[in-house]
Amino acid sequence: HKDDEVEEGWEVIAPMDAALSQKDHRIVGAVRVFISIQLIKRVASSLSNIILIVGAIGGLSLFLLLMTALRRTIENDRRLHEVETRNIDLSEQLHEAERNLMNLEKFSVLGQLTGTFAHEIGTPLNAITGHLTLLKEDVISDKPNLDSRFSILEGQVSKIAGIVKNFLQTTAQPPSELQLIDANQLIEKSLTILGPRLELLQVKVQRHLDRGLGPIRIAPLELEQVLINIINNAIDAIRMKPGQVGGILELSTGLNRRDDAEWLEIRVRDNGMGIPEKDLKKVLRPFYTTKTPAEGTGLGLSICADLLAKVDGNLSVASVENEWTLFTISIPFVHTKESDS
Ligand SMILES: Nc1ncnc2c1ncn2[C@@H]1O[C@H](COP(=O)(O)OP(=O)(O)O)[C@@H](O)[C@H]1O
Ligand SMILES: [Mg+2]
C-alpha cells in the first residue's frame, strides 16, 4: 500500500522458490497479487449500467413493436367492421331494389291482365246493351206489362258496364310521355340504380357507348324499366354461373341500318351461365323462368318485349351456354333537329 491511499482488497503474496538441487531450495522472489474491491465494484457497476441500458433499449423497442402491432390490429379490426357494416347496408339496398323490381313486374302484369279482362268483357256488354234497347222497342208496343222487366235488365247491365268502366280507368296505366332522351345517359342511370348489386357481386362493367348518338324519342321510364330488367338478368346469370365469382357486363350503343331503316341498338352482354339453345325461344315468353319463386317471376323479359313493341322496337337474344348471353334492344331511330345538330 502507498501510505496516502487505503485500498481495500485482498493481497496474495506467493513466494517463488527455485530448486537449485534436490535438497537446496532458495527463495528468489515473490509474486504479489492485489485484488481491489473498489475495482471489482467499479467493473461490476459499469457492467450493470450497460446491462441496464441494453435492457432498457430492448424493452423500449419491444414496447414500440407491440404498440405498432396492436395499433395495426385495432385499425384492421375497425376497417373490417366498416366493410361489414357497408356490406350489410348494400345487401339491404339490394334486397329493397329486388323487391321493388319484383313488385313492379307483378303489378305491371296484373294491370295488363285485368285491363285486358275488363276490355274483353266491355265489348260483348256493349252489344248486349244495344240489342236490349232494340228488343225493348219491338216488344213493349205489344206487351206494355213487360216494361218493368226490361227496366230491371237495363239497370243490371248498366251496373256491370259501370263496374267495368271504373275498372278500366283504375287499372289503365297512364299513357307514358314520349320525350327526347339520350340513351347513353339512361344506361348510366340504370347502372347507378343497380350499382350496389353490381358491386356486391363483383361485376365489372365495360362500356362501348357511341357518344355521338343523337337523342331518341321514347318514354324514358319504360326504357329504363327494360334496361334494368335485362341488366338484372345478366347479373343473375353471372351470380348463377357455377365455379365463377364475379363477371363482366358489357354495354354498347350504336346506330345500325337494317331493312331500309335506321335503328338505335343497345346491346347488353354478360359472361354468365348462358342459355341452352333449346331454351332460347322460350325466354321471352311470360312465366318462363329458371329461377325460384323468390328470385324470379318469369315476367321481366315478356314485359320488356311488350314495352318495346309499343314503340315498334324489338328485343332479340343470342347465347352460348356457359359462355355468354347477348340481349339486343332495337328502337327505330328517327332523326330529329336535335339529333342532327
Ligand atoms: N342474361 C341471361 N343469361 C342467362 N339466362 C337468362 C338471361 N336473361 C334471362 N335469362 C333466362 O330467361 C328467364 C326469363 O327471364 P325473365 O323474363 O326476366 O324472368 P325472371 O328473371 O323472373 O326469371 C330467366 O329465368 C333465365 O332463365
Ligand atoms: Mg328477370
Does residue 288 lie in a domain region? yes
Ligand 2 midpoint to CA 189 (Å):
18
Pocket flag, ligand 1, residue 237 (CB < 6 Å) = yes
167 & 202 share domain: no
> Which residues have a Cβ under 8 Å from the Cβ of 291 and sit 6 or more positions away?
236, 298
Pocket flag, ligand 1, residue 290 (CB < 6 Å) = yes
128 & 183 share domain: no
* CA 213 remoteness from chain centre: 28
d(CA 160, CA 124): 11
Closest-lying ligand 1 atom to the alpha carbon of residue 234: 1
326 & 195 share domain: yes
* Nearest ligand by distance to the CA of 327: 1
Pairing of strands 247-258, 203-208: parallel
Does residue 63 lie in a domain region? no
Pocket flag, ligand 1, residue 247 (CB < 6 Å) = no
Average pLDDT over all residues of the chain: 86
285 & 313 share domain: yes
324 & 246 share domain: yes
Atom 19, ligand 1: residue with shortest CA distance: 298
Q: What is the pLDDT of residues 34-54, one digit of tens each?
A: 888 888 888 888 898 899 999
Pocket flag, ligand 1, residue 272 (CB < 6 Å) = yes
Of 203 and 341, the one with more pLDDT: 203
Q: In this structure, are residues 293 and 276 in contact, taking their beta carbons and an 8 Å threshold?
A: no
**Reduced to 3 states, what is the DSSP secondary structure of residue 287?**
coil
Of 213 and 164, the one with more pLDDT: 213
Atom 13, ligand 1: residue with shortest CA distance: 289
297 & 149 share domain: no
d(CA 143, CA 55): 126
Pocket flag, ligand 1, residue 325 (CB < 6 Å) = yes
Of 92 and 19, the one with more pLDDT: 92
Q: In this structure, are residues 245 and 254 in contact, taking their beta carbons and an 8 Å threshold?
A: no
Phi-psi region of 244 (alpha: psi -120 to 50; beta: other; left: phi over 0): beta
Residue type at position 322: N
Atom 27, ligand 1: residue with shortest CA distance: 290
Distances (CA, A) of 106 to 109, 241, 289, 296: 5, 26, 14, 10
Does residue 109 lie in a domain region? yes
Whether the predicted pLDDT of 179 surpasses 90 = no
Name the domain boundary from 171, 192, 212.
Answer: 171
Closest C-alpha among 145, 120, 118, 147 to residue 135: 147
Atom 4, ligand 1: residue with shortest CA distance: 274
- pLDDT at site 221: 80
* CA 52 remoteness from chain centre: 60
CATH number at residue 127: 1.10.287
Does residue 15 lie in a domain region? no
Helix %, strand %, coil % for the chain, to 5?
55, 20, 25
How many distinct structural domains can be found in the chain?
2
Among 289, 304, 327, 329, the mutation site with the greatest number of ligand 1 atoms within 8 A of its Cβ is 289
234 & 324 share domain: yes
196 & 321 share domain: yes
* Nearest ligand by distance to the CA of 235: 1
Q: In this structure, are residues 209 and 253 in contact, taking their beta carbons and an 8 Å threshold?
A: yes
Does residue 32 lie in a domain region? no
CB atoms within 10 A of CB 1: 9
Does residue 247 lie in a domain region? yes
Name the domain boundary from 121, 143, 171.
Answer: 171
d(CA 308, CA 44): 96
- pLDDT at site 57: 93
Instruction: Please give the average per-residue pLDDT across 17-46, as a whole number.
Output: 83
Atom 18, ligand 1: residue with shortest CA distance: 300
Report residue 146's pLDDT band, with 50, 70 and 90 as the boundaries. Answer: confident
Closest-lying ligand 1 atom to the alpha carbon of residue 229: 18
CATH number at residue 209: 3.30.565.10
Which domain covers residue 298, as residue numbers?
179-340
Pocket flag, ligand 1, residue 253 (CB < 6 Å) = no
- pLDDT at site 39: 85
Closest C-alpha among 101, 124, 120 to residue 297: 101
For the record, the C-alpha cell of 58 comes out as 430492448
Does residue 56 lie in a domain region? no
126 & 258 share domain: no
242 & 305 share domain: yes
197 & 331 share domain: yes
227 & 301 share domain: yes
Q: In this structure, are residues 299 and 237 in contact, taking their beta carbons and an 8 Å threshold?
A: no
Does residue 121 lie in a domain region? yes
Name the domain boundary from 171, 202, 232.
Answer: 171
